[in-house]
Amino acid sequence: MLMERKLAVVALGGNAILRSDQVGTIDEQEENTTLTLENLVFLLNEGYDLVITHGNGPQVGNILMRNDAGEQMYGIAQMPIDICVADSQGGIGYMIERMFRNVLNRHGIRRNVICIVTEVLVDAGDPAFSDPQKRVGKIYSKAEADELAGRKGWVFREEVKADGGFRRVVPSPVPKGIVNHSVICDLARKGNIVIAAGGGGIPVYIDEKNDMRPAEAVIDKDLASSLLATSIGADEFYILTDVPYIYINYKKPDQQVKEFLNYEDTMKYYMEGQFAKGSMAPKIEACMNFVKNGGRKSVITEAFKLADKKYGSKITMEYEDERR
């Protein structure tokens, strides 16, 4: 009897690639990535086809700082954010592809692995473009920020969690469509492991001439990953992060683990403000979007514990579907 093949989208984030206490050397990133990918082998052995997405926060930040240093020291023209995101997609995607090929080789698994540089459509009229909030790049002095704001039109906000200074902020519009999602789906359904939509994808929009134009913005990686999962008809959606479960009253004396959640209860906790903005909240929103739009199950767990099924919080539409 042939094993039923399911399609899963796995979003690598948090310490899946780079831990908070590390400086970000390639050796550290390759080791973390390998450990994470080892946790995905069981999905392949259980008959899953895979699409992998990933974050790029530290990496694209470093690219932006190299841009800045190159311009100041050598007069090298800076590249816009869409090119920087594409740069990070290629570099991180290559690393994941090579590490996964080595993992598959050790397990005697024959699968193709391919990275696709992915554009993601946004709405040029998204309110985020008039209220940029996402901090990117290095910290500048007020004088530097004022000079750059005047010369480049950049928007800055004061840092409150660091030792002062100002950082550039850019819009973070809602993803509306995954360019080439049908190609990604076709490749994955044929058994190829596909790496796509890295860093939330390269933000683009369609202008009045029906041409594709770049947007100086960044897209939330979890929301883009969820949209990709829905667009290709994935059965399951996984977010790998730095905590093993979803928690209520996180880090408080009455903290509770929530291993099984349905859509209604998850929405209730979300509306109560149980999930921190900028960290767990977009992950919860992404998981709810997926099951609301036909996905069977979303899972949030720690990057290195996916293969251990006693870990992880599962979100489904109805409770009776949880333990299937």
| Residues marked as catalytic | 14-15, 134, 221, 283
Distance CA 322, CA 316 (A): 6
In order of 1, 49, 169, the CA distances from 4 in angstroms are 9, 10, 46
- Record the tokens describing residue 315, joined without a space: 């979100």
For every residue of 213-238, DSSP letters joined together read EE-S----HHHHHHHHHHHTT-SEEE
Cβ pair 97, 114 in contact under 8 A: yes
Cβ pair 244, 259 in contact under 8 A: no
Residue type, 37: L
Show Cβ contacts of residue 67 under 8 Å, excluding neighbours closer than 6 positions. Answer: 76, 78, 79, 84
Look at the alpha carbons of 278, 119, 12, 284 in this order and tell me if their dihedral is positive or negative: positive
Q: Please give the distance of CA 254 from its chain centroid, rounded to a whole number.
A: 30
